[in-house]
Amino acid sequence: MILLLLAIWYGYKKARDTGRNPFLWAAISGGVFLGIQFGVALALGLLAGIGQEFWGWEIDERGGFNILVSLIAVVLSIIGLMLVFRYLDKIPDDGPVESPPPPPTFNENDRS
């Protein structure tokens, strides 16, 4: 829970410092953190269920498997956040500084 709050806070702070929408990027940072954790838990749970059904794996749900899944999920969530923060560290381009010059005008008197 503390890591989730830190992810949201750092996402807000980094977006604000680079001129982006801080509320949107705070939500994106929190969503990436939670989404990766849910995805990893779902994928490893499905893998364990398939392994139990087809290959007869014996998995103790009370101990080691839960710790392993939690550790993998937290590490991958932090890696995902680092990628989001790396993107937020880039300062967005302001676009072209000047507009193009106006087109030339030709007068009848200039023809010689």
Would residue 11 count as lying in a domain? yes
What does the pLDDT look like over 18-66, one tens digit per residue? 888 999 999 999 999 999 999 998 998 898 888 888 888 787 666 677 8
Would residue 70 count as lying in a domain? yes
Highest mean pLDDT among 6-20, 45-59, 90-104: 6-20
Q: Virtual CA dihedral for 13, 14, 19, 20, nearest 10 degrees?
A: -90
CA angle 85/45/81 to nearest 5° reads 5
Answer whether residue 111 shows pLDDT above 70.
no
Would residue 103 count as lying in a domain? no
Would residue 17 count as lying in a domain? yes
User: What's residue 104's pLDDT?
Assistant: 82
